Structure 1
Amino acid sequence: MRPGSADTYDCDVLVIGGGIVGLSTAHAITRAAPGTRVTVLEKEPGPARHQTGRNSGVIHSGIYYRPGSLKARYAVRGAAEMVKFCAEYGIAHAVTGKLIVATDRAELPRLHALVQRGRENGIPVRELGPAQIAEYEPQVRGLAAIHVGTTGVCDYVAVARQLAAASGAELRYGGAVVRIDRRPGHGVAVRTRSGDVVRGRVLVNCAGLHCDEIARLTGDDPGMRIVPFRGEYYELARPELVRGLVYPVPDPAFPFLGVHLTRGVDGSVHLGPNAVPALAREGYGWATVRPRELAATLAWPGSWHLARRHWRYGAGELRRSLSKAAFTAAVRRLLPAVTEDDLVPAPAGVRAQAVLADGTLADDFLIRETPGAVHVLNAPSPAATAALPIGREVARRALTALGRSGGDRATAHRAAPSRP
């Protein structure tokens, strides 16, 4: 299999991955450079089957993220754009605001630090005492809290479907990638498990849980490994106990936000997620084990460095995974009225977390370029919130690469959006 000649390309830009980031990228390319041929290759029979469709549906405000980081800038901008997008296309959403609640005195300095971070990121934050917490959430208890008014919820699967419909891209589902041939100046040729070959001038890798594997298939060293973490959820049998969104004060040493309470657009309330190592990249339960993927995770030095560094935190997460009583206890810190009988098992999700060789968790969005390719190598939460600005940034890079590869240089140069 060899990349095609100039007149045998199936598309100008070939996007691998039909989650919200891949579809937003395709949408942004066709908006920025009309006439650019874009193909989205997705291994599942439809869009948004993994991270996009298996999360709590929160439109994040950006309060947690380091000022000036891509996460901070894109989440703040993306939250406003996501609300506008949902309103424009009639997609279910609500701007509910959320509480971040301190339940222990040791959490108060971290809560105050979040107030400062929110203000630095331009996010409206209101500080609350115990009586004011009850005004927002009568059943929630805490020593202090902050209210973040720009947080909301939406239906991200519907957003992904709308992006797919509006992009004008060719969508090829059921196309699991097994081989990629790339030659500088001659584009890429991608073979799927079914034997189809798709040729493009530029490759964009938005493969989420498999992005590092796709990077290696192109011949690039991603410099990281996706280590999958499963987030387990329960649904609250008495949703009337929670009005909106309630979060604990997160531990800044770990990228997960802790067990929180989320009232979705359908009125149901989800509790979670915790964060435990998954035994497969799409390991949505303990029974799903893929030996090859598990062996690759265990062979990565960063996995062991990470385990040594965070084993105490991990032990607590594992306990909550195996014990409903322990999970209930975590919820009761925020919502004392809840009982074990109130927790109904709900579908889990898996976070595609990039881990470096020294065990460092990639904290920011990670986008890398190589000749003829753009790789999105770390885009977990809040990537869904930030999907529209992320898509524009990846599109900008792809269009620049398209100009370099011998595509329509003039169009790529004129249409590519400026760097945010």
Structure 2
Amino acid sequence: PKYLKRGVPPRDPAHCYLSPNDQSDNLISLIKSIKPDLMTRTPSPPKSLVELTLRSPTVHLIGPANEENPNRSRAILHGRVKFLDQKVKWQRATLSFQGRAVLTHEGLAMAGISGGDEAFSGSEYSQILEICNVDKELIVFDGQSEIEFGLHLPFDLPPTMRTKHGFVEYSLIAKFSAGSFKTARAQSDVIVKRHYLPNGAVVVPTNEMTGCKDWFEWTMEVPRAATFEQGEAVIAMKWSCEKERVEVMTVETRLEQTETIRFKRKNTTTSLRLPPKLLPPAIYTPPSFTDPLDTHFLRIPLIRELTSPHIYSPFIEISHRLVITFKFTNNAQDITMVYPIIVTDLPDAQASIVINGDDAVPIDLGLPEYWGALPKYEDLQEPIVLL
């Protein structure tokens, strides 16, 4: 036979047929031998046509978000947009600063409301409120490679925050169009911070209060605000015991943090105060022999890692109270007083903030800040004496 003459070995008919699986394996092996990374290659992302850059993604606001705030000023968000492809002739560029407040299903679950009772039960979140939508159109000239901008923001924005019950977030969106079919989009997150004191040189307002409970009389001066940079809140206090053989043994001071959820149900706004978070107490032991004229300084530590600053948003509020407990000798009944305080932080040293007037004057720390039906700060000045 011819194949014997050519030196080709005879083929076994049993090995001439390959199953479909064997054919697939052979094909894959062949492809991998040609280009090993062909089977694992991922498509490269499309080339970006524009670039959005912010000078600083953080916006600093000073004071409460109300009309009475003497330091009320509008912040400016600076940045630039850069055109990466000079072949594209952009005709229109629009900036949109958007903010929203969101209450999660877990937040409503804390209020004892099932998701089926809400109109938002089919969505990822329970209630969504648009805080702002500020638009600005940029002028695009032919051959321009980049545009710098400054966007004025409202002064009453709630700060960026996030808990398991809700959050507030902001973003800046830049949209570009070149004709009817060529469009581009860029987005950057923006962080809004609200500080209730512009710097450490500000004179913090204090309230002097006096009270009497049976045989115990006191006078104290409590600050209306304290900062994390100070590290502590200091209360100056005088007292006198008019009961025989009874003296102040210790004074326990602690910071109490409370989260309040506000939600709407059937056109009614309801507030729910969650159980407070108790921070580590500070124990003050007065000297053995004290005079009613002696001034005692109670120091409450402010630990940033354990405490959130004061936050007021449409759905979530985080507030703080000072809890002062007097313990007496001879098994006399304890006396506890509760006093509200604003815990805040100071702006960064490099932050650019416009402040009207002199920083060294007392500023207004009045509440409420927005439209919530909460008692004003003046209504909370008197301490609550707990029996």
Task: Please report the TM-score for the alignment, with normalisation by the length of structure 2.
Answer: 0.22
Task: Please report the TM-score for the alignment, with normalisation by the length of structure 1.
Answer: 0.20
Q: Which has the higher contact order (CA 8 A, sep 6+)?
A: 1
Greater share of residues in helix: 1
